[in-house]
Amino acid sequence: MKNFRPSRRQALAAVPAALAAAFAPAGAQAQAGYPDRPITLVDGFVPGGGSDIVARLLATRLQAELGQPVVVENRPGASGTLGVAGVLRARADGYTLAIGTISSLSVLPQVMVRKPYNPLTDITPILTVASVPQVVVVNENSPFRTLGALLEHAKANPGKLNFASSGIATSQHLAGELLARSAGVEMTHVPYRGSGQALADLMAGQVDLNVDTLPTNLPHIRAGKLRALAVTTPERVEWLPDVPTVAESGFPGFDRKVWYMIVGPAGLPAPIAERWATALNAALATPEIAQRLREAGFMLGGGTLASTAAMLRSENERNAVIARQANISID
């Protein structure tokens, strides 16, 4: 067989393509083989929390979907904003992402005087992977057996009922404020340094109620130590099918839950973001992962890049209104 030698015309025609490949942006070249090394998924809380549980469950399946290990790294501090802020300073190449929460991505950025980042311009939202309902709970010895009775008492006694939270500007705090404003009542907020202390004082009768996450309270509800008055989601939840929603209790449209979202730095290339969204949706559709998340008290997420971005914007706008009306701010 004779050696093939291209004609001058063929050789010249190949020059533009060769030059384009040689001078293509580094990001574009990286996308072609993405991913080709392990990926870090940062969680801004200590191990064992809700975001950590979700991240580690998904990581077990994401390796099969992406072809590379996904390593969960805990960087706790500043209610989750420390971990997110670190990821936003990383290269937008898809090798360092974060799992953020309603607090770190839509509450704290609205109430902090010195904002660590702008969640609408500094972040590439990828997918909401899970959420948990919140539940209005009272002590087992509380005289209130329905949410309606509790709120009627609050209306007749402004400021006398107090609700606990795990701290100022937490999801529990804003949920309690939203409930009070929806009902047109005044309740006193009692912030604690964490859910554990708030829960202990609620069960001891030191505070009247809490609007906390379902997984935190479910064991105590089942043990009869706490009484669930209502869940904050639009529909009843499978774990407490006999407990009405806040909406059913006379407040149509009430919807509040804690959610978990995978995000990257601003400027994350669209093909990489799409690759992650596809992998995450596939992981959530895996029967084993779906079952384990449900057993832990999580509702499954999913969707598209567009729906996730729309949700993030909507949640920031909504929480900004609640924070402003309740005069919540953190120096």
Q: What is the pLDDT of residues 220-241, one digit of tens each?
A: 999 999 999 999 999 999 999 9
Instruction: Tell me which residue of 69, 70, 123 sits closest to 101, measured CA to CA.
Output: 123
Whether residue 173 contacts residue 328, with contact meaning beta carbons closer than 8 Å, is answered with: yes
Residue 103 is inside which H or E element, if any? none
* Per-residue confidence (pLDDT) for residue 31, from 0 to 100: 65
| Measured distance between the N- and C-terminal CA atoms of the chain, rounded to whole angstroms | 79
Whether residue 42 contacts residue 99, with contact meaning beta carbons closer than 8 Å, is answered with: yes
List, in sequence order, every beta strand (DSSP E) within the chain.
Answer: 39-43, 70-74, 96-101, 123-139, 162-165, 188-191, 209-213, 226-231, 257-265, 299-300
Cα torsion 218, 219, 220, 226 to 10°: value is 30
Summarised one tens digit per residue, pLDDT across range 179-212 is 999 999 999 999 998 888 999 999 999 999 999 9
Regarding pTM above 0.75, the answer is yes
Whether residue 297 contacts residue 215, with contact meaning beta carbons closer than 8 Å, is answered with: yes
Residue-by-residue pLDDT tens, the chain, 331 positions: 444 454 545 444 444 444 444 444 444 444 678 999 999 999 998 888 889 999 999 999 999 999 999 999 999 988 899 999 999 999 999 999 999 999 999 999 999 999 999 999 999 999 999 999 999 999 999 999 999 999 999 999 999 999 999 888 888 999 999 999 999 999 999 999 888 899 999 999 999 999 999 988 999 999 999 999 999 999 999 999 999 999 999 999 999 999 999 999 999 999 999 999 999 999 999 999 999 999 888 999 999 999 999 999 999 999 999 999 889 988 7
How far apart are alpha carbons 260 and 139 in whole angstroms?
28
How far apart are alpha carbons 195 and 197 in whole angstroms?
6
How far apart are alpha carbons 213 and 50 in whole angstroms?
10
Q: Would residue 99 be called left, alpha or beta, if left means φ above 0 and alpha means ψ between -120 and 50 degrees? A: beta
All domains in the chain, ordered by first residue? 37-132+257-326 (3.40.190.150)
Residue/partner pairs of 189-194 with CB below 8 Å, 24 or more apart? 189/162, 189/163, 189/165, 190/162, 190/163, 190/164, 190/165, 191/164, 191/165, 191/166, 191/167, 192/164, 192/165, 192/166, 192/167, 193/166, 193/167, 194/166, 194/167
The 3-state DSSP class for residue 186 equals: coil
Neighbouring CB atoms inside 10 A of 114's CB total 6
Residue 4 is given by DSSP the state: P
Summarised one tens digit per residue, pLDDT across range 286-302 is 999 999 999 888 999 99
How far apart are alpha carbons 225 and 219 in whole angstroms?
9
Residue 235 is given by DSSP the state: S
Structure tokens at 292: 């384990």
Size (the chain), residues: 331
Task: Render 149-174 in DSSP notation, one character per residue.
Answer: HHHHHHHHSTTTSEEEESSTTSHHHH
Structure tokens at 200: 């202990």
